[in-house]
């Protein structure tokens, strides 16, 4: 399809909005796009519909079918309401709604509450912004059938999103995801019931906060260490987001007394004025907090993303320099501590398990298995970790994590939980300090005991229609022109999750991967122990590459030598794949 054909289709869709049942401001904005000599924004706004996918909606805000606005949010909500009323016919239906700090989040959440109530569904909505995990928690506490959080998580400020949840507090999975997608596709703007019923809208406030924080405290395994180290200096930043109150409150509830703030970043602002990215995966996002930590000689730095589900931490290394611990390392520290302390306290049942995503370090599994704890693999996204919990009700869940700075240390929420994670990570820091150590020391001890792993993730951004096609072509090329050798090491195993097969490229033997659904993920395992994972992002115009290399660390003194060797190996893999 050439540019002229695309523009013709886009113009026709834009004219439908100009002549349809849309508000005046929306129509004026579309007219401006159509009158602009550069039609790039018009095309991007209308060349496709913003799809209600398995995780809901996420996109740039603005008018158009491919944008987040009250009409795309409205269609998603009306479709979900239709499905709930059909699936739970004859039952009392309620839903919990939360929202974050982003521009238009309050508008979209109010719109969602109005539409659900107009469809006869009771809507619980928080009185102000709240972290995603508290919304997940509230679904379970209130006995809701579903939930919605308005957030684009860690995406740039131009984005917003809409995540849908089921009655167990997890994001929606099969078969409901596909059925809801079909229900949303059937909605036209004239079918959206925007006029709410105030009698079916109830506001949630401090009582739910207290219940949530008291439940978070039940995760504590070392209260005596906290008592000994209650003056631990913790620098915390919500990066303008939803954890501005609840994380400090939770830390105080645990017993910590010395929480140091970054006043400029305590300001709630969807434009994230102090950072170029409000993503704790990005080192720049922690810059102000680390500077404060240097100033006050802190023990620990913690930062959350805008909706409070991701946690970034920084500690001093043995050179006295502040170092950001990556997501794999964070998940590793959590898993090691939770298993070790449960073993020491006699809390392991013999029927315990942890969960990691397939792109997360394999060292996570090694720690579990060596301690006779089962480890499940899941697809990227905590809805799949929650799915493992759902399918194993007779087993004891310890924790689950992923490489992208998310961890869930308790099953009372069913999504990654930065409030709980901040609380437990502070406890681990106190426990380490009780032994004359810090988190960096603990990490090195893990590497000596279980093996050394080094990870890196890079991504390639390709915007718009042409970018989406380029990403698709890259995945196709990796899938059907598989490399036989990467960085001078033979590829000994390929896992293709689109067909759920593990393939031995030497013998041609194929074995089944036991996943119920498919995913657009490829993995290459090398003879030298390295793992490379490739997948397109489900929420951004990116293709992501995850690298993991393994080495043996016999003594802590060799840590930096082994780390440099591993970094060199990762650089070699990147060059070999021509990703520089």
In 24-183, the DSSP E strands lie at: 57-60, 94-99, 122-126, 146-150, 159-166
Confidence band, pLDDT 50/70/90 cuts, at residue 333:
very high
Burial 20-31 (b: 16+ CB within 10 A, else e): eebeeebbebbe
Confidence band, pLDDT 50/70/90 cuts, at residue 2:
low
CA distance 254 to 256: 6
Work out whether strand 322-325 and strand 522-526 pair parallel, antiparallel, or are unpaired. unpaired
Closest CA to 80 of 161, 174, 181: 181
Quick count: other Cβ atoms within 10 Å of Cβ 317? 18
Enumerate the active-site residues: 153
CA distance 494 to 481: 12
Sheet containing strand 300-304, edge to edge, reads 259-261, 234-237, 300-304, 311-316, 322-325
**pLDDT at residue 48 greater than cutoff 70:** yes
48-210 and 453-576, same CATH topology:
no
CATH 3.30.450.20 assigned to domain 48-210? The reply is: no
| Topology of domain 232-450, CATH | Alpha-D-Glucose-1,6-Bisphosphate; Chain A, domain 3 (3.40.120)
- Residue of 156 and 136 predicted with greater confidence: 136
| 3-class secondary-structure state, position 123 | strand
The structural domains of the chain, with segments of one domain joined by +, span 1-46, 48-210, 232-450, 453-576
Quick count: other Cβ atoms within 10 Å of Cβ 572? 16
Burial 47-85 (b: 16+ CB within 10 A, else e): bbebbbebbbbbbbbbbbbbbbbbbbbbbbbbbbbbbbb
Please answer whether residues 164 and 135 qualify as being in contact, where contact means their C-beta atoms are separated by less than 8 angstroms.
Answer: no
Give the pLDDT of residue 466: 80
Q: What is the mean pLDDT of residues 110-121?
A: 98
CA distance 553 to 454: 12
Please answer whether residues 124 and 292 qualify as being in contact, where contact means their C-beta atoms are separated by less than 8 angstroms.
Answer: no
**pLDDT at residue 345 greater than cutoff 80:** yes
Confidence band, pLDDT 50/70/90 cuts, at residue 463:
confident
Confidence band, pLDDT 50/70/90 cuts, at residue 496:
very high
Q: Of the given ranges (67-71, 227-231, 551-555), which has the lowest mean pLDDT?
A: 551-555
Confidence band, pLDDT 50/70/90 cuts, at residue 572:
very high
- Residue of 377 and 175 predicted with greater confidence: 377
The CA–CA distances, whole Å, from 527 to 148, 392, 485 equal 45, 34, 9
**pLDDT at residue 414 greater than cutoff 70:** yes
Q: What is the mean pLDDT of residues 397-409?
A: 96
| Topology of domain 453-576, CATH | TATA-Binding Protein (3.30.310)
Give the pLDDT of residue 54: 63
Quickly tell me which residue has 């050179």 as its tokens: 319
**pLDDT at residue 1 greater than cutoff 60:** no
pTM of the model: 0.94
């Amino acid at each position: 399809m050439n540019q002229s054909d695309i523009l013709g289709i886009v113009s026709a869709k834009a004219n439908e909005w100009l002549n349809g049942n849309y508000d005046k401001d929306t129509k004026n904005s579309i007219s401006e796009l159509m009158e602009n000599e550069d039609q790039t924004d018009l095309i991007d706004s209308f060349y496709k519909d913003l799809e209600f996918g398995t995780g809901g909606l996420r996109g740039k805000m603005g008018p158009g079918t491919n944008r987040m606005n009250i009409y795309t949010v409205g269609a998603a909500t009306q479709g979900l309401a239709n499905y709930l009323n059909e699936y739970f016919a004859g039952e009392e239906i309620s839903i919990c709604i939360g929202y974050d700090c982003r521009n238009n989040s309050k508008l979209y959440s109010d719109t969602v509450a109005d539409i659900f109530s107009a469809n006869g569904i009771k809507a619980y909505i928080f009185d102000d912004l709240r972290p995603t995990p508290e919304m997940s928690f509230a679904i379970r506490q209130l006995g809701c059938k579903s939930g919605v959080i308005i957030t684009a998580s860690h995406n740039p400020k131009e984005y917003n999103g809409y995540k849908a949840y089921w009655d167990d507090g997890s994001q929606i999975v099969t078969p409901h995801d596909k059925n809801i997608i079909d229900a949303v596709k059937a909605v036209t703007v004239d079918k959206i019931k925007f006029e709410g019923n105030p009698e079916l809208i109830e506001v949630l406030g401090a009582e739910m906060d207290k219940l949530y924080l008291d439940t978070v405290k039940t995760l504590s395994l070392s209260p005596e260490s906290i008592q000994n180290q209650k003056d631990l200096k913790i620098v915390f930043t919500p990066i303008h987001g939803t954890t501005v109150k609840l994380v400090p409150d939770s830390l105080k509830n645990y017993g910590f007394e010395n929480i140091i703030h970054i006043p400029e970043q305590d300001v709630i602002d969807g434009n994230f004025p102090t950072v170029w990215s409000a993503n704790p995966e990005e080192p720049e996002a922690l810059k102000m907090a680390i500077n404060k930590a240097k100033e006050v000689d802190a023990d620990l730095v913690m930062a959350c993303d805008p909706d409070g589900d991701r946690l970034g931490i920084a500690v001093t290394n043995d050179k006295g320099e502040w170092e950001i611990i990556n997501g794999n390392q964070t998940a590793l520290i959590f898993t090691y501590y939770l298993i070790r302390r449960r073993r020491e306290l006699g809390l392991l049942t013999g029927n315990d398990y942890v969960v990691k995503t397939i792109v997360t370090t394999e060292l996570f599994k090694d720690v579990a298995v060596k301690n006779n704890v089962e480890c499940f693999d899941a697809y990227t996204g905590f809805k799949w970790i929650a799915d493992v919990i759902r399918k194993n009700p007779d087993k004891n869940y310890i924790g689950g994590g992923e490489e992208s700075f998310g961890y869930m240390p308790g099953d009372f929420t069913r999504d990654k939980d930065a409030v709980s994670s901040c609380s437990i990570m502070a406890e681990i820091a106190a426990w380490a300090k009780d032994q004359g150590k810090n988190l960096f020391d603990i990490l090195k001890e893990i590497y000596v005991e279980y093996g050394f792993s080094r990870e890196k993730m890079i991504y390639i951004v390709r915007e718009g229609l042409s970018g989406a096609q380029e990403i698709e072509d890259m995945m196709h090329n990796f899938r059907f022109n598989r490399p036989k050798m990467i960085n001078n090491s033979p590829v000994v195993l390929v896992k293709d999750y689109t067909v759920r097969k593990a393939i031995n490229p030497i013998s041609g033997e194929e074995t089944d991967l036991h996943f119920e659904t498919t995913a657009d993920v490829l993995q290459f395992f090398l003879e030298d122990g390295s793992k490379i994972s490739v997948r397109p992002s489900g929420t951004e115009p990116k293709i992501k590459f995850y690298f993991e290399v393994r080495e043996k660390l016999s003594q802590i003194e060799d840590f930096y030598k082994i780390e440099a060797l591993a970094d060199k190996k990762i650089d070699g893999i990147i060059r070999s794949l021509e990703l520089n």
